């Protein structure tokens, strides 16, 4: 075995070239390029640059976490903790999309919040109502349509708050955030098959919970 051809080739081959993506990757996407510049400046100690990133992504990340953790206070705390964690660990960012990196940190923070809620089940999640925000209604808005949309949103939020945390996380990441199965599997640390199963079972559970109100969703 020691004098096999494969070994000789392996010995002749030089060490693999490891590319450091952190400072050399230049993205074609202007948003990504802006994010990388801001992150580079934040790494150099510019807090305003980091806060520019916070301003860019806090709406998106709060919406993501609040769908996963229906308790508003817990969701806020999880997002704040995620930004703290991002600030602490920005030197370990290895390139790629800053948005995905922040989303991953937020998903982890949200999952931690879910686990904390399980450990201290003081009260079940309150239903996730969107009373604090309503879509802007133009003058031509149809009141019937607006009412229907509101009822549908309320019913769906209530049902989402009642399925399991794992199913809700998978559904939110897939349907609301638009991640694919592989990305969700990587984010949540489970297999691709588990992600599919959670999404399918979660949708079936939602359908079971909404069975009496399905007319809101049809047509």
- Closer to another protein by Cβ: residue 27 or 58: 58
- Closer to another protein by Cβ: residue 12 or 94: 94
- Closer to another protein by Cβ: residue 29 or 130: 130
Residues within the interface to another protein (CB under 8 A): 47, 50-51, 54-55, 58-59, 62-63, 66-67, 72, 76, 79-80, 83-84, 87-88, 130, 132-135, 152-153, 156-157, 160, 171-172, 175-176, 178, 196-197, 199-201, 203-204, 206-207, 210, 214, 217-218
Burial-class residue 76 by CB neighbours within 10 Å (0-12, 13-18, 19+): middle
- Closer to another protein by Cβ: residue 25 or 54: 54
- Closer to another protein by Cβ: residue 8 or 200: 200
Contact 98, 32 (CB under 8 A): yes
- Cα-Cα-Cα-Cα torsion 157, 162, 166, 172, nearest 10 degrees, comes to -10
User: Could you give the angle at the alpha carbon of 104 between the alpha carbons of 135 and 51, nearest 5°?
Assistant: 70
Whole-angstrom distance, CA of residue 31 vs CA of residue 39: 12
Distance in Å, CB of 104 to another protein, minimum: 14
DSSP three-state, residue 28: coil
Distance in Å, CB of 17 to another protein, minimum: 27
Structure tokens at 84: 């703290």
Distance in Å, CB of 39 to another protein, minimum: 14
Distance in Å, CB of 10 to another protein, minimum: 34
Residues 6+ apart with CB under 8 A from 27: 33, 36
**Among 106, 96, 128, 130, CA closest to 58:** 106
- Closer to another protein by Cβ: residue 27 or 194: 194
Whole-angstrom distance, CA of residue 145 vs CA of residue 153: 12
Distance in Å, CB of 80 to another protein, minimum: 5
Structure tokens at 73: 């206070």
Distance in Å, CB of 180 to another protein, minimum: 11
């Amino acid at each position: 075995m020691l004098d096999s051809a494969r070994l000789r080739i392996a010995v002749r081959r030089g060490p693999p070239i490891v590319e450091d993506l952190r400072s050399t990757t230049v993205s074609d996407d202007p948003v990504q390029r802006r994010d990388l510049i801001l992150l580079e400046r934040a790494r150099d100690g510019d807090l305003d640059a980091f806060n520019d990133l916070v301003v860019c992504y806090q709406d998106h990340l709060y919406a993501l976490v609040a769908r996963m953790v229906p308790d508003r206070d817990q969701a806020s705390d999880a997002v704040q903790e995620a930004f703290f964690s991002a600030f602490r660990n920005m030197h370990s960012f290895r390139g790629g999309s800053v948005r995905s990196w922040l989303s991953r940190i937020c998903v982890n923070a949200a999952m931690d919040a879910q686990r904390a809620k399980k450990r201290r089940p003081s009260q079940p999640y309150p239903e996730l109502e969107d009373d604090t925000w309503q879509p802007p209604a133009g003058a031509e808005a149809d009141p019937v349509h607006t009412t229907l949309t509101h009822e549908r949103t309320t019913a769906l939020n209530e049902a989402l708050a009642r399925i399991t945390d794992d199913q809700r996380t998978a559904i939110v990441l897939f349907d609301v955030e638009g991640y694919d199965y592989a990305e969700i599997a990587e984010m949540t640390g489970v297999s691709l098959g588990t992600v599919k199963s959670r999404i399918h079972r979660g949708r079936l559970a939602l359908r079971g919970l909404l069975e009496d109100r399905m007319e809101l969703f049809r047509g």
